[in-house]
Each structure stands twice: as structure tokens, then as C-alpha cells.
Structure 1
Amino acid sequence: MHALTRTARVTGLFYLGNVITAVPGLLIVRPQLFAADDPNATLANLVTHESLARAGVALALGMVVTQTLAAAWFYRLFRTVDSFAASGIAAFGLVSAIVGLVSAAMLATAVEVSVDPVGDAAANVQVLYLVSDDLWGVGALFFGLWLIPMGWCVLRSGWMPRVLGWILVGGGVAYVLSAFIRYLAPDAQVVAEALTYPASVGGLWMVGYLLVRGVRRQALDEAPPTVPTPTRVAS
């Protein structure tokens, strides 16, 4: 396997791991535990479903690990295309991982408070979940920002379909806008959510392309050899 293809597929594997760990935690585990308008219900859910709550923390930590590795490997993949843009992917991706790490700490603390109450346990647990939720809300800025240089590298390299590059750039911009709308226009949450869909489409397409195709064959023909051929010295 060509080194460039191998790098692309490893990157896709880490990106897939990020999806696998992030989606269940956010869309399945959290709704079963967090009752937005009822702190006592949230506390009761954590006490009753402690194993599920701890699994949610583990998924959050898995997201941090896979996000960090994906950011590093995206830099490795695209550094020869545009080092500045590749550095942007890595930097914004690492900030997203840090946001996820802090959110995981909030969730872990909520579990511990539910097991060993401190003060008003229901109120404390609810605040921890609210802060965790808003960390993801403001962290959407960096999730959107990391897609923009990713799309730019797709466009510059020609290694993937250009449509994918434009979807990533447009989806990244829309995702950043969704973070502002969430807090500036609380009654327009449907709009804010709709703005995240292009980014989801682009991200899943990127995962699939990296895993199945890696890069276009043309890119492999144009890529420099990984090991230079030694020059024969005439005697």
C-alpha cells in the first residue's frame, strides 16, 4: 500500500473513531440522563443508571483521544499540500479535544456527586450538566473552524472530490454561525441545528472517502517516492 494511502486510511480510522465515540454519548446517553428542567430527575437518573453515566464519561474520553489523533494525522496527511492550513486543522482539532476533555471532567464530577452527595446534590449535578452542554455549544466554533482548512486542503490537493472540499468549507462556516445563533437567538434553535447538517454530511463523506479510497490514484502517481533511489557513483 502506498504511504499516502496508508496515511489517509489511518486518518479516516481515527476520524471514524471520533464519530463512534461522540455520537452515542451526545445523542443517546446524555438524553437518558439529563432532564433539562428537573434537577431532581437528573440526579435520580444518575443514581439509577450509574453504569450508563460512567459509560458516557468513557465515551467522552474516547472522543478526546480519537479527536486528538485525528487532528495529528490530518496534519500529517495534508502538510505537504498547505502547511499553514494543515496546522489549522491540527490546532482547531486539538482545541475541540480540550473542550471535550473539560466536558468529560464535568460529567465525571456529576457522577461522583450523585454517588457521594455534596451540598445540594440535585442542583450541583444539574449545573455540571448545564456547563458540559454549553461547553459543547461554544466548542462548536472550533469544530466548524477545523472543517474550513480541511476543505481548503481537499480543494488544493485534488486528492478528493472538489464538491467534498466545498461542502466542508461551507459546512464549517455554517457550523460557526450556528454557535452564534444558539446564544444570540434562543428562539431560532431549529435554524441553528439546520446549519450543522452540511458539516455532518461533509464529515461523514470525508470519513468514508478516507477509509474506502484513501486518495485519488492521480495523487499516488504525482506523490514523491517515500524512499529515494540511491544514485550510482561511477568508479
Structure 2
Amino acid sequence: MFGLFAEVGARGPLIVGSDAAATARAILAEEPLFRAGIAADLAMLGCYVGVTALFLDVFRPVHAGVSRMAAAFSLIGIAVLAADTLLLLAPLRLLATAPYLSALGAPQREAAALLALKVHGDGYDVSLVFFGIYCVMLGWLAWRSGFLPKAIGGLMALAGVCYILNSVADLAAPAFAHTLSPHIMDPTLIGEAALALWLLVFGARGTPGRATRMPQAARQGHRA
């Protein structure tokens, strides 16, 4: 939710294609909204750290090695996106800070600000490659778990493939990326929503870890 607001609600209306001057005017006119998008990105990253730790614990009983590797890919993606967020501060400094106003002409500042925003988009794609791998691994773990429907595992794996395909195409083959369907990212929303809703409604009851811990606790209580 935070990420969707940042990308679609905050920055989406302000970045006017490749028009550097129009983008600069929009950012300056809606600076509080632009900064709110940055704050939403940070909130999203904090939530993803918590989700990564949660899923590491939930899926560890299914396969500890794969669960740890999935968490590692997730944390790398989070770190890349956290560093990438710094680029969003460049337009604000270039367009509204005194040293740059006097040192650079308006066209140069506006072009540099738009470049920072475009490179931020590239960094987002890099982070989604790692997050896509994370989703594929989560899908495999969910499929193998026995406490989640296999359909959710399949949807999460498909979501990961879509993340990877879309991001790699954007970075390595832009011409090919333009031929992809605009709906290629739909499975990512469906897969993640299905997993989140299932856990919200049913929780992680019946996980192998919980099943093995309960008898142990009972035995300890019996000995006491």
C-alpha cells in the first residue's frame, strides 16, 4: 500500500514523461506530496523487513536453507531500494537549494533532476529482480509447506517470474520491454494479495514448526 501510494499517488502525477521543465514545475508545486512519497517508500521498506523476518520463521520448518536464502534475496532488494531512495532527494536540492540555483541554469538543473528520477526507476527495477527471486522461492516453500494451498505457491512463483521478466527486460532490452503486455504485472498483485489474505484469515496454523513444538511443550509440562 505504501509503495503503491509512492509510485502511483505521489510521483506518478508529477513526472511528466521526458519533459524536464514540466516535471520540475510539478515537483516544486507539489513538494509536500513528493516528500510524502519518499516517506511512504521508507515505511514500505520497514514493513518489508518485518515481513521478511516473519516469512523466514514461518517457512523455516519447510526448508531452512531455502528459507534463509529467500530472506537474503529479499534483504538485498530492500537494501538496493533504500539506497535508490536517496536519488529522490536530488531533484529537491537541484531545483530549490541556493548553491545549485546560482551555479546552474534552469535547463541544466531540470535535466539533472529528471535524470535522477529516471535512474531511480532503474534502481527500482534492480531491486525487483531480487524481490522476484524471493517471490519464486516463497512460492516453492508455500507449495511444499502443506499448510498453504498449492495454488498460492503457484501464484507467488508466477509473480516472481513476472517481476524478473519485466525488470530484466526494462534494464537489458528496452525495445523488447515495450512489446510486453501492460498486464504482465497483474499476477504480482494477485499472488501477493492471495498470500497476505490467507495468512490474515487463517494465520500460520498447522505449520510443521508449530506441530513439532507443541508435543515438546506438553512433554515438558508432564515431567514438571
Identity of aligned residues (%): 24
Q: Which of 155, 175, 181 is matched with 2:169 structurally?
A: 181
Which residue number in structure 2 is paired with residue 94 of structure 1?
Answer: 75
Q: CA deviation at 1:185?
A: 4.2
Residue 87 of structure 1 deviates from its aligned partner by 1.1
Cα deviations by residue, 1:21-69 (Å, 9 ceiling, x for unpaired):
1111111211111122111111111111110111011011111111122
126, 139, 143: which one aligns with 1:138: 126
Q: Which residue of 2 aligns with 1:23?
A: 4
**Does structure 1 residue 214 correspond to structure 2 residue 203?**
yes
Counterparts of 2:182 and 2:218 in 1: how far apart (Å)?
50
**Distance in 1 of aligned mates of 2:192 and 2:34:** 27
Equivalent residue runs for 1:64-143 within 5 Å = 64-116=45-97, 118=100, 119=104, 120-143=108-131
Which ranges in structure 2 are unaligned for 5 or more consecutive residues? none
Contact 2:169-2:176 at 8 Å conserved across structures: no
TM-aligned CA distance change 1:222 to 1:198, over 3 Å: same
Q: Secondary structure at the match of 1:229?
A: helix
State the number of aligned residues: 214
Aligned partner letter, 1:130? K
Alpha-carbon separation, structure 1, partners of 2:195 and 2:112: 39
Task: Map Cα deviations across residues 141-186 of structure 1 (whole Å, 9 max, x no partner).
Answer: 1121110110111111111110111111122123212222224142
Q: Deviations over 1:109-167 (max 9, x none)?
A: 32232221523321221111011111112222112111011011111111111011111
Q: Which runs of 4+ in 1 moved over 4 A?
A: 216-221
SS at match of 2:223: coil
2:94 aligns to what SS in structure 1?
A: helix
Equivalence for 1:6: none
Q: Contact (CA 8 Å) 2:91, 2:116: kept in 1 or not?
A: yes
Contact 2:61 2:207 in 1 (8 A): no
Using the alignment, how far apart are the partners of 1:124 and 1:142 within structure 2?
Answer: 28
Equivalent residue in structure 1 for 2:159, among 161, 167, 171: 171
In structure 1, C-alpha distance between the alignment counterparts of 2:39 and 2:57, rounded to whole Å: 27
If asked which structure has higher relative contact order (CA below 8 Å, sep 6+), I would say: 1
Cα RMSD for the two superposed structures = 2.2
Range with greater deviation from structure 2 (205-214 or 176-185): 176-185
Which residue of structure 1 lines up, in the alignment, with residue 219 of structure 2? 229
Q: Classify 1:145/1:221 alpha carbon distance in 2 versus 1 (closer, same or farther; 3 Å).
A: closer
